[in-house]
Amino acid sequence: MDDRRPNLAERFALAAHSNAVLPILLVLEILETTIVPFPYEAIFVALCLAAPQRTWLFVAVTVAGSAIAGSILYSLGAGFAEPLARYLNVQEAVEAYKSTFSERGGALIFLGGLTPVPSYFVNLVAGATGYPFATFLALFSSSRFIRFALLGLLIHLFGEAILAQWSRLPIVVQRTILILFLAAVTWWSIAKL
C-alpha cells in the first residue's frame, strides 16, 4: 500500500476530473473577462492536459463564462455611459465614438473575443454605444468559442507528445521552467493592471 501523499500535479489531475472544477472554471472566466486580468489560458491548458477527454466540456464552460461576463459588461456600459458622459461633459466625444463603433463595432467585438487582449473595454463600449445586444452576444461568444476550440484542438492533437517530452526532462529543468513560467505570468498579470 502506498502511503505517500499525492504531489501537486496528481492533485491537479484529480481536480481536473472532478465536476467541482467546472463552477470554479466558470467563475474564473467571468472574473478574467470582467475585472481581474490574468492568464486564464494557462489554467485552461493545464486542465485540458490533465483531463484531455474533458477538453470540449472545458471549452463549453469557458464560452459560457465569457458570455455571462460579456453580458454583464455590456449592461454596465449601456446603463452608465450616458450619465457618466454628462457628468464628465464629454457627450460630443461619446457621440463621435458611437458613429465609429456603429461602422466597425462587429469587427472590434469579434477581434476583442478572439485575441488575448482584455476584452472588457470592447464589451463596455458595445453597451455604451447601443450596439444590438443579440448581435454583440453572438459575435463575442462565437469568437471566444473559436479561440478556445482552437486551443483545445491543439492540446488534443499535441498534448500527449508535450507531456511525454516534459516527463523526460530532469526534475531540475522542470522546476526551472515552472519558476520562469510563474515569473512570466506574474509579470504579465501585473503589467495588465
Per the structure, the complete domain to which residue 141 belongs is given by 8-159
Q: What is the pLDDT of residues 92-142, one digit of tens each?
A: 877 777 777 878 888 889 988 888 777 888 888 889 888 999 999 999 999
Residue 120 lies in a domain: yes
Residue 125 lies in a domain: yes
Residue 98 lies in a domain: yes
Residue 75 lies in a domain: yes
Supply 131's cell numbers: 450596439
Q: What is the pLDDT of residues 11-50, one digit of tens each?
A: 878 888 899 999 999 999 999 888 887 778 888 988 998 8
Q: What pTM did the predictor assign?
A: 0.78
Residue 167 lies in a domain: no
pLDDT at 69 over 90: yes
More confident residue, 11 or 68: 68
Total tally of structural domains belonging to the chain: 1
CA distances 90 to 82, 83, 93, 96, 97, Å, are: 10, 10, 5, 10, 11
For 10, residues 6+ apart whose C-beta sits below 8 A from its C-beta are none
Among residues 44, 51, 59, the alpha carbon closest in space to that of 16 is found at 51
Residue 184 lies in a domain: no
For 177, residues 6+ apart whose C-beta sits below 8 A from its C-beta are 169
Specify the 3-state DSSP secondary structure of 89: coil
How far is 185 from 193, CA to CA, in rounded Å?
Answer: 13
Q: What confidence score (pLDDT) does residue 191 get?
A: 65
Residue 82 lies in a domain: yes
Kind plus residue range of the DSSP H or E element containing 69: helix 55-88
As to burial, measured by CB atoms within 10 angstroms (0-12 exposed, 13-18 middle, 19+ buried), residue 128 is buried
How far is 112 from 153, CA to CA, in rounded Å?
Answer: 21
pLDDT band at residue 60 under the 50/70/90 scheme: very high
Residue 187 lies in a domain: no
How far is 146 from 13, CA to CA, in rounded Å?
Answer: 25
